[in-house]
Structure 1
């Protein structure tokens, strides 16, 4: 019985100490002028995740997939760190079109990530395409729990 308890304790502790890797988007972060990603602030009060909106104010339609990345800011290292997805988790590979002058809403689930999301500063990153060019969108948010 003691061995089982010790084994369970080791498994639990090994999951708590996940080492996060530096962001792969750090050098690419520039704000898009005509396409915006905005987090719905009221939705951050849930523990499941949050809603966000993509607003297309450009003259062209944009293509959006379901994939997004979440990152945490490490104040000690002064850098953004990637939060890993859980094992065997992937985003549905389909394409959605957001026409010029319109908006689409999405839900970012914390459950798809291998992380507990403690209090801190975070951001969501989404890569889109318009007229063959990649667009990198992001918005910051804070978890205060």
Structure 2
């Protein structure tokens, strides 16, 4: 009897895994020449998150908020899947200006997301604005822990 209850509990827990939706950005990602998003080296091994920076090598200031998207690559489906935020979690929407020739550092927290982040291939996506145009930036990373 205990084995049956244990088996049912395992099935229930496995069924509670968050189902990830396909990326909203699959066809829109292109590299920006003058504005770069870079994950700081070797810091995706932490369990809390990672640091990244945005470098503005353009001639124009860029505006950025704190929001970001994390996605996981599904090798079986051969597509990127968007990781959902936890319920009642959002990002502060202050406007940060990065002047030409400068950079700013940020922290991407895993804690804001409703996901366990197992080993695999991931990417971070940020949406910026420069001269009224939207810019999508991204960088890939691996979790090996």
Could you state the TM-score of these two structures normalised by the residue count of structure 2? Answer: 0.90
Extract structure 1 runs of 4+ deviating beyond 4 A: none
1:98-109 equivalence runs, <5 A: 98-109=98-109
In structure 2, how many angstroms separate the alpha carbons of the residues matched to 1:45 and 1:28? 28
Equivalence for 2:81: 81
Greater CA drift, 37-46 or 82-91: 37-46
Q: Which residues of structure 2 form unaligned runs of 5+? A: none
Alpha carbons of structure 1 residues 79 and 130: separation in structure 2 relative to 1, 3 Å: same
Q: Which residues of structure 1 form unaligned runs of 5+? A: none
Alpha carbons of structure 1 residues 135 and 58: separation in structure 2 relative to 1, 3 Å: same
- Between structures 1 and 2, the one with greater helix share: 1
Equivalence for 2:35: 35
Alpha carbons of structure 1 residues 33 and 83: separation in structure 2 relative to 1, 3 Å: same
Equivalence for 2:24: 24
Could you state the TM-score of these two structures normalised by the residue count of structure 1? Answer: 0.90
* Structure 2 SS opposite 1:142: strand
